[in-house]
Amino acid sequence: MNGSLYPVAILFAAIFTNNILLTNYLGMCSFLSVSRELKTSVGLGVAVTFVMATTSVLNWLVYNKILVPLELEYLRFIVFIIVIAAFVQIVEMVIERVSETLYAALGIFLPLITVNCAILGVSLFMVIREYSFIESFTFGLGSGIGWFLAILAMAGIRQKLKKARLPKGLEGAGITLVITGMMAMAFMGFSGMINIG
């Protein structure tokens, strides 16, 4: 494939055809629990996109510049999770100092991000698929936007759904999963466009 086009292709593939939530099932826990309100979904979506794009770059540097030369690749799980947790902690402290309103809006979501498996998943996919620096960044950014898109759509649907009458057992997680399945089917319509492993 054309070298200069590839990172852009990864960006779009990560948003649509290889959506991290709908085709790789990552970040489901927070997706299911936070998608009740549109407002909170936006907060979490922004935080996830930002952290994903940044940690994919940081982890790429740490993995390729430190772990690979030292032949310590098997330590990547521990190192990646430390980088993510430390980064989230720093971001939280910076936001607290810089902007009170932003902290009030994002503050509660930042701890949730450390345990969001999509963030770690992006870094692990990046290693398996052997992405370059730029590709890792676009993959992280695209995955974040894709996740944001999915949770936004779900929150919108669920706000309308409050008025619907459902069978008792299907309330909450059940119906959310059914709708997610339908969204996954809709996103499968994009699959002819681009494909990344």
Interface residue list for another protein (CB under 8 A): 22-29, 32-33, 74-78, 81-82, 85, 114-117, 120-121, 124-125, 128, 167-170, 172-175, 177-178, 180-182, 184-185, 188
Residue with Cβ nearer another protein (32 or 196): 32
10 Å CB burial of residue 143 (0-12, 13-18, 19+) is: buried
Residue with Cβ nearer another protein (77 or 133): 77
In the complex, minimum distance from the CB of residue 92 to another protein, in angstroms, rounded to a whole number: 13
Q: Is 123 helix (H, G, I), strand (E, B) or coil?
A: helix
In the complex, minimum distance from the CB of residue 77 to another protein, in angstroms, rounded to a whole number: 5
In the complex, minimum distance from the CB of residue 29 to another protein, in angstroms, rounded to a whole number: 5
The vertex-19 CA angle with 109 and 122, nearest 5°, equals 60
Residue with Cβ nearer another protein (4 or 155): 155
Which residues, other chains included, contact 171 with Cβ-Cβ below 8 Å and sequence gap of 6+?
A: none
Tracing tokens 């998608």 back to the chain, one arrives at: 35
In the complex, minimum distance from the CB of residue 124 to another protein, in angstroms, rounded to a whole number: 4
Residue with Cβ nearer another protein (31 or 148): 31
CA distance 190 to 192: 6
Phi, psi of 19 (to 5 degrees): -50, 125
How many Cα atoms sit within 13 Å of 46 on the Cβ side? 11
Residue with Cβ nearer another protein (5 or 74): 74
User: CB neighbours (10 Å) of residue 140?
Assistant: 32
In the complex, minimum distance from the CB of residue 69 to another protein, in angstroms, rounded to a whole number: 20
CA distance 123 to 39: 28
